[in-house]
Chains A and B, each alone.
Chain A
Amino acid sequence: MKKLKYALFTGCTAKQSTPEQMMSTLAIAEKLNIELVELTEASCCGASHLQDYDDFLSLVLNARNIAYAEKHELTMVTICNTCQLNTAMTKHRLDNNADLKAKVNEKLAEVGLEYKGTSNIIHFLYAIIDDIGLDKIAEMVTTPLTQFNIAPFYGCHNIRPSELQNESHKTKESAYRPTSLDDLIIACGGQTVEYVEKNKCCGFHVELQAPKTAAILTGNAIAGAMDGNADWMVTPCPLCHLKLDTQTHHASQAIGREVKLPVLHMQQMIGLALGCSSEELGLKHHVTKVDFI
């Protein structure tokens, strides 16, 4: 299989609160013959909150991140839905507004950089599906996840706004009937769980300012997966993961029902199917214990 090469935008959580996400990304990249060039110069994308405070600054910083991917002449892959949204949105706005692009480049020139618009921005989930393919993944599976009912949790910023997100990848996704993660579960040999909350919000972005709202949304999501008889959940977003993995106590209190399920990163699920060890995948880092391995 031809070696694939991408510029990796890790985002911040992979370096802090979800170290297992970084570990599992690197583990499956090796299995899938993917070379990842980490963009160590990249800054935080602003996570949609800097954008509420200083829109132009967020554009400049995200354009700088993309400019580094362009220097490598590589497609940028993201491993966080919110990083994907903010970076792709920056690209969309700059590519469609010459004046704005010029203003941003005026700033980037101060540090010897230029945003050209030559690198695509794609979430790792779609890079894998587009460039490797589900059939190939299925062929590579050594430890099929046959015995598991797995609940996909898509996360908002990979599927909405759909027009923007569908710009970056060939696999078209519906915000109302997303299939990519379900397809990946099936390719890994698992059974996918259908439940209403799979494409809903986890509440992460209002965890601090509206904790009750956030807790109810988290609780509903886990409860939906549990009612669908899921053994565990899987998500491509580390922010959703954090919410679903670490906030079960608050979520249970908020909806008046005990809710708890192991929540794996998409990379960890693929890694399990490809025969990676639990150590390689960092499964010990989960707050909600991964007890089925």
Chain B
Amino acid sequence: MSTSNITTQKVNFKVFRFNADEDYLPYYEDYNMDVTSEEVVLDILNRIKWDHDGSFSYRRSCRHGICGACAIKVNGRSTLACKENMSTMIELFGSELTIEPLSIKRAVKDMIIDKGDFWEKHDAIHPYLISDVDEHPEHEHIVTPEEADRLLEADLCIQCGACHYACPALEVNDRFLGPAAFAKAYRFEADVRDQARNERLQELHSEEQGIWDCVKCFECAEVCPKDVNPIDKITKLHLMLFKEGVATSNVATRHAVGFKHSIAKHGMLDEGGLVLYSEGPGIVKHIPVALQMFRKGKIVMPWNMPKSDNLDEIQKLIKSSSTAKF
């Protein structure tokens, strides 16, 4: 193999160190290394352990981007270490790289974290096919390619936790199930063989699970090493909730539906009207902020609500194109 195109660069790695059995607080250790353009992040973790400190701990297994064990964060970005090229990291962040576990607050030893919360949430969505299977079937349960396509690659998830520990909603709300669990739920909701669709959807819809608490930041889509695109699956679950008649009236569902009503009436969104429609009597809690905004000329009165030109076109399209009912 030709090595003529391999380049080398000096990189300073600032590496998170913590041993829950010995350390009161975590600390960072510096390791300066010559990094070649063909190495992946996992090679660096190996070299830290093999060449610098045998006590350095991390998870690794397949080295083929399949097992999901070696996910960590580089400069705050969730990364599957065995898949991510060092050249990409250096191009993105330069030659000062901070290596940390996926979740500092869940660190057990160096890069190893307690993923208990991840698995609890994974389990909570019943991540398996639920179907009354004939014990003596006369033929296979055929799934057509078109039906398999409906999974939209949600079955490619390797449960690495990259999206879970990158999710800002989960970071501040530990009741939120998180993008990985929702993507997995979609994988079974979209499976034509699954017979627990409404039951699972009802659980996802409950406020405790918080499917409506996704902040829509697309961080999960950005970090997923397998292009599962969890936020796309969360959106699809929202749509399923309405389509299957599982959605009940709450602030979040009224907020989504309110857009249609507002657009039908004005073309544009009536911001104040939407808050009223979504919150109902709960709107009173917004009064202090609304008064401040009013004083600054940021609230439009209903009689001055702007409307789109050619509103009749919009109304006609809503009437003929809308498929959702709630």
Using CB atoms and an 8 Å cutoff, list the residues of chain A in contact with chain B: 12-13, 15-19, 40-44, 46-57, 60-61, 64, 107-108, 110-111, 113, 156-157, 160-162, 174-177, 196, 200-201, 203, 205-206, 208-210, 212-214, 216-217, 246-247, 249-250, 284-287
Contact = CB atoms under 8 A, between A and B. Distances in A.
B251 A44 contact: no
A201 B168 contact: yes
A159 to B, nearest CB: 9
Nearest to A203: B215
Contacts of A48: 216
Nearest to B304: A16
Nearest to A108: B317
B152 to A, nearest CB: 13
Contacts of B218: 156-157, 160-161
A52 B235 contact: yes
A282 to B, nearest CB: 8
B92 A177 contact: yes
A111 to B, nearest CB: 4
Nearest to B318: A57
Contacts of A52: 235, 238-239, 242, 256
Contacts of B229: 161
A98 B306 CA distance: 35
B172 A111 contact: no
Nearest to A217: B168
Given A53-B239, A156-B216, A285 B297 contact: yes
Contact of B296 (A56, A176, A206, A286): A286
A51 B231 CA distance: 12
Contacts of B288: 249
Interface string B74-91: 011100000000000000
A13 B271 CA distance: 8
Mostly helix, strand, loop or mixed at chain B's interface?
helix
A12 B271 contact: yes
A209 B213 contact: yes
Contacts of B299: 16-17
B173 A210 contact: yes
B120 interface: no
A201 B215 contact: yes
B320 interface: yes
Contacts, number: 202
B239 A285 contact: no
A83 B19 CA distance: 46
A74 to B, nearest CB: 17
12 contacts: A12-B268, A17-B271, A17-B293, A19-B298, A40-B309, A41-B310, A156-B216, A157-B216, A160-B218, A177-B75, A209-B255, A285-B296
Interface in B250-306: 250-253, 255-257, 259-260, 262-263, 267-269, 271-272, 275, 278-279, 288-289, 292-293, 296-300, 306
Contact of B213 (A44, A201, A206, A216): A206
B296 A209 contact: no
B289 A246 contact: yes
B215 A206 contact: yes
B150 to A, nearest CB: 14
Contact of A44 (B262, B321, B322, B324): B262
Given A201-B215, A210-B213, A49 B293 contact: no
A276 to B, nearest CB: 18
Contacts of B318: 57, 61
B221 interface: yes
A202 to B, nearest CB: 9
B212 A47 contact: no
Nearest to A10: B268
Contact of B293 (A41, A64, A111, A287): A287
B219 interface: yes
Contacts of A41: 267, 308-310, 313
Q: Which of A64, A176, A177 has the most CB of B within 10 A?
A: A176
Nearest to A68: B310
Given A12-B268, A17-B271, A287 B298 contact: yes
Q: Which of A47, A60, A201, A213 has the most CB of B within 10 A?
A: A213
A270 to B, nearest CB: 21
Given A50-B256, A209-B251, A16 B271 contact: yes
A109 to B, nearest CB: 11
**What 6 A-B pairs are tightest by C-beta distance, nearest first?**
A160-B218, A52-B238, A201-B217, A54-B324, A209-B252, A50-B259
Contacts of A209: 212-213, 250-252, 255
Given A57-B323, A209-B255, A110 B212 contact: no
B324 A53 contact: yes
B173 A212 contact: yes
Nearest to B74: A176
Given A17-B271, A209-B251, A61 B314 contact: yes
Given A110-B317, A247-B289, A285-B297, A50 B263 contact: yes
Nearest to B300: A16
Contacts of B289: 246-247, 249-250, 287
